[in-house]
A and B are shown apart, each in its own frame.
Chain A
Amino acid sequence: MKADTVKAEEATARTRAASVSRQRVVAGLALIVLAVAAIEFPLVFSSPVVTNYAIYALIFVAAVSAWNLFSGFSGYISLGHAVFFGSGAYTVGIAARDWHVNGVAVFALLPLAAAVGAVIAVPFGLVALRVRRHTFIVITIAVFFIFQLMAYNFSFTGGSVGVSAPFLPWSPTSFNDHFYYITLACAAGTIVIAFLIRRARFGLQLRAIRDDEDRARGLGVHAMRVKLSAFVLSGTITALVGGVWFLYLTQVQPPSGFDPLFDLSLVLMAFLGGLGTIAGPVLGALIIEPGQLYLTIKYTNGYLSEILLGVLFLVIVLFVPRGLVPTAGEWIRRLRTRGRPASGTVSPATSAPPAPPEASEAPAREARTT
């Protein structure tokens, strides 16, 4: 009897291991296919109209992944990330203007944009992260407005006229392709960073803070240090992406650089896909940003798109509150657990029942993190 159970357990372990490794192979193949598709994309769709959509989508993939690695993991919802986005854009613009940087050399200013993002994030985080929940959200909004107003009022930011980017010596036909690969690199880099953080001890500490900050502190997490590091990292990446966005758009004004709808879009994308997951925000950005852009281009007054955005928001929050990716993961898991016992692939021993859900949970978890 005892030998039987051991054998049965070994069998389930083997099938579990096999299914996990098979899952890994499938996920790896899917990633390779995705990467190839992403790289080949501008070769297939060479029209600037299409690549324009792709570039904006990728900018938002990078921005929302950066937002998510702080807000999604830690549960501190920031509505002030436009501070970093706009500051990055302005940094590149002002530095290029004052130091007379021309041509492709302006891309050398992107690390400066990232550094400025980090420099802003430290005091911002030190103040805002002292408080939680609603108060944190409101402070991020307040800081956001301070930055927008500063951009309007200072003379070196060009007031309401804003700043223009230097001319890039790229032909109109290849202009979008260059930016496509730059934004693709930003997006891929941010996703990899978010993925690594989620798997690391650091990511675990962040999620412990999200679940119960006081308990996490009690268990020895240096909450402030962890939160601030994530906030600074997130702000740094967002500022870098803001710089790229500025070079693509070639101009920035206070309301476009520091745009309240930018923050809102990030939150919506993350919630649509699944807050705190890796694939969720990416999926959300890929769905929402092209849709929003399409509506803005089609209905130039933008009011209808605003109403639709609001309705979409309500539908998501009321019907898919956990986001698409976790909800889909749940469905897949449910389908599998229903199918597993009937197919009889698991050992016939009575000790089996607890195994199937476990075995099928692992791949589902895997699917969620990738």
Chain B
Amino acid sequence: MAREIYQAIVDGVLVGGVYALMAVGLTLIFGVLDIINIAQGVLVILGAYLSYVLSTRLHIDLFVGLLVTVPAMFVIGVIIQWAFIRRLRGRERTSMTLLVTYAVALIIEGILYEIFGPNPKQLNASYVQSSVRIFGFYLSDIYLYGFALAVLMVVAIYLLLYRTTFGRSVRATMQDETAARLVGIDVNRVAALTFGVGVAVTAAGGMMFGATNSFNPNSGYDLISRLLAIVILGGLGSIGGALAASVFMLTVESLVDIWSPEWAIVVFYAALVIVLVIRPTGFFGRQPVRAQ
């Protein structure tokens, strides 16, 4: 029993790393643009399908393929922001952006259905099936690589935010958009690029998700609800919170999974509700949600 628990914790942490990758994009977009990108889930699936096409048609390795899919998703993100989200203003902006991103999700999902059909797919490579034994724990290679990739990308985002001029303008915009505008930051450009970066990480997240789960165009809904739970739990707009919350949530799910796989997902959402009853701002909320 103790062994199972340790194994579950290790699994939870590794899977949590992959979710962290997707959740960081979502929380970054929220922090800068003050919107929730409902399309994030289906964009992850789109990333998975891009990797699928590259690996089955062109026989490009999954990780090498990221060199193509990450920039591609970045461009898609910038286009979505430029075409639809930039125009929204006014009092109903919150619900409007929600609807717009939901609409984008529906359109992408429909197109994926038209192209790939409803049958589930899974990404395959030599390291997807294999596993290694470390200290008596069986760790599948793909999760180890994925965790390493997640750490790498999160570090890259951290460096981008805290060591570059662009990052400084992003953080300034997160803190106070009007003030950022006043000191000469092109807020629209920052918003577009941030949306691009937030979507670009879904390419990596999608590749990992596709390699560890079977997916079809409909998988985005389950994913977005989990990601939303994670970023709310971590505190909207907090990157560290997103990391902590994904590891925490996935570990909880993994632990409950030993006892009952059916109820594991219920516990996932119930954990969110319970935490928010006690702490409405989540773990690392920037400001009280009540005051918004």
Question: Which of A77, A143, A314 lies in contact with B269, CB distance below 8 A?
Answer: A143
By beta carbon, the residue of chain A nearest B282 is A135
Of A38-46, A144-152, A174-182, which stretch is located at the interface?
A144-152
Question: Which of A134, A143, A145, A311 lies in contact with B236, CB distance below 8 A?
Answer: A134
Cα A223 to Cα B259 in complex, Å, equals 42
Q: Decide if B114 is an interface residue (CB 8 Å cutoff).
A: yes
Which residues from B are CB-within-8-Å of A301? 113
Which residues from B are CB-within-8-Å of A138? 36, 228-229, 232
Of A124-132, A235-243, A283-291, A360-368, which stretch is located at the interface?
A124-132
Cα A321 to Cα B107 in complex, Å, equals 19
By beta carbon, the residue of chain B nearest A142 is B269
Q: Are A275 and B92 in contact (CB under 8 A)?
A: yes
Which residues from B are CB-within-8-Å of A260? 221
Q: Decide if A232 is an interface residue (CB 8 Å cutoff).
A: no
Q: Decide if A271 is an interface residue (CB 8 Å cutoff).
A: yes
Which residues from B are CB-within-8-Å of A268? 99
- Tell whether A145 pairs with B269 under 8 Å between CB atoms, given A134-B36, A153-B262: yes
Which residues from A are CB-within-8-Å of B270? 146
Nearest-Cβ distance from residue B186 to partner chain A, whole angstroms = 23
Cβ < 8 Å to A, chain B residues 141-164: none
Cα A220 to Cα B102 in complex, Å, equals 36
Q: Decide if A306 is an interface residue (CB 8 Å cutoff).
A: yes
Cα A307 to Cα B108 in complex, Å, equals 8
Q: Are A314 and B84 in contact (CB under 8 A)?
A: yes
Cα A349 to Cα B153 in complex, Å, equals 73
Q: Are A146 and B107 in contact (CB under 8 A)?
A: no
Q: Decide if B132 is an interface residue (CB 8 Å cutoff).
A: no
Residue from B103, B104, B105 having most chain A Cβ neighbours under 10 A = B103
Which residues from A are CB-within-8-Å of B107? 306-307, 310-311, 314
Cα A134 to Cα B30 in complex, Å, equals 10
Q: Are A307 and B292 in contact (CB under 8 A)?
A: no
Q: Decide if B11 is an interface residue (CB 8 Å cutoff).
A: no
By beta carbon, the residue of chain B nearest A141 is B225
- Tell whether A313 pairs with B266 under 8 Å between CB atoms, given A139-B272, A306-B113: no
Q: Are A153 and B269 in contact (CB under 8 A)?
A: no
Which residues from B are CB-within-8-Å of A153? 262-263, 266
By beta carbon, the residue of chain A nearest B103 is A313
Question: Which of B84, B114, B228 lies in contact with A303, CB distance below 8 A?
Answer: B114
Q: Decide if A293 is an interface residue (CB 8 Å cutoff).
A: no
User: Per-position contact with B for A301-325: 1 when CB-CB < 8 Å, else 0?
Assistant: 1011011011101100110010000
Cα A133 to Cα B30 in complex, Å, equals 13
Of B174-182, B240-248, B250-258, B273-281, which stretch is located at the interface?
B273-281
Which residues from B are CB-within-8-Å of A304? 110, 114
Q: Decide if A267 is an interface residue (CB 8 Å cutoff).
A: yes
Is the interface on chain B under 10, 10 to 19, 20 to 34, or 35 or more residues?
35 or more
Which residues from A are CB-within-8-Å of B84? 314, 318
Q: Decide if B90 is an interface residue (CB 8 Å cutoff).
A: yes
Nearest-Cβ distance from residue B271 to partner chain A, whole angstroms = 10
User: Per-position contact with A for B217-241: 1 when CB-CB < 8 Å, else 0?
Assistant: 0000100010011001000100000
Number of interface residues of A (CB under 8 A): 39
Residue from B94, B98, B102, B114 having most chain A Cβ neighbours under 10 A = B102
Q: Decide if A221 is an interface residue (CB 8 Å cutoff).
A: no
Cα A138 to Cα B94 in complex, Å, equals 12
Nearest-Cβ distance from residue B54 to partner chain A, whole angstroms = 23
Q: Decide if B106 is an interface residue (CB 8 Å cutoff).
A: yes
Q: Are A264 and B289 in contact (CB under 8 A)?
A: no
Which residues from A are CB-within-8-Å of B94? 77, 133-134
Q: Are A133 and B292 in contact (CB under 8 A)?
A: yes
Nearest-Cβ distance from residue A239 to partner chain B, whole angstroms = 20
Cβ < 8 Å to B, chain A residues 66-84: 77
Which residues from B are CB-within-8-Å of A20? none
Q: Are B36 and A317 in contact (CB under 8 A)?
A: no
Which residues from A are CB-within-8-Å of B105? 310
User: Per-position contact with B for A248-273: 1 when CB-CB < 8 Å, else 0?
Assistant: 00000000000010001001100100
Nearest-Cβ distance from residue B96 to partner chain A, whole angstroms = 5
Q: Decide if A137 is an interface residue (CB 8 Å cutoff).
A: yes
Cβ < 8 Å to B, chain A residues 315-347: 317-318, 321
Q: Are A145 and B100 in contact (CB under 8 A)?
A: no
Q: Are B99 and A317 in contact (CB under 8 A)?
A: yes
Q: Decide if B87 is an interface residue (CB 8 Å cutoff).
A: yes
- Tell whether A314 pairs with B103 under 8 Å between CB atoms, given A77-B98, A306-B109: yes
Which residues from B are CB-within-8-Å of A135? 232, 236, 276, 280, 289
By beta carbon, the residue of chain B nearest A77 is B95
Q: Decide if B265 is an interface residue (CB 8 Å cutoff).
A: yes
Nearest-Cβ distance from residue A109 to partner chain B, whole angstroms = 27
By beta carbon, the residue of chain A nearest B112 is A303
Cα A269 to Cα B106 in complex, Å, equals 16
A130-B276, A153-B262 known, 14 other contacts, Cβ within 8 Å:
A135-B289, A137-B95, A137-B98, A145-B225, A149-B262, A149-B265, A301-B113, A304-B110, A310-B103, A310-B106, A313-B103, A314-B104, A317-B100, A318-B100
Can you list 22 A-B pairs, Cβ within 8 angstroms, ordered by A?
A127-B273, A130-B280, A132-B289, A134-B30, A138-B229, A138-B232, A139-B272, A139-B276, A142-B273, A143-B273, A149-B266, A149-B269, A275-B95, A301-B113, A303-B113, A307-B110, A309-B106, A310-B105, A310-B106, A314-B84, A314-B103, A314-B104
What are the 9 A-B residue pairs with the smallest beta carbon separation, nearest first? A313-B103, A310-B106, A307-B110, A310-B107, A306-B110, A303-B113, A142-B269, A310-B103, A138-B228
Query: Which A residues are within 8 Å of any B CB, using their own CB?
Result: 77, 127, 130-135, 137-139, 141-143, 145-146, 149-150, 152-153, 260, 264, 267-268, 271, 275, 301, 303-304, 306-307, 309-311, 313-314, 317-318, 321
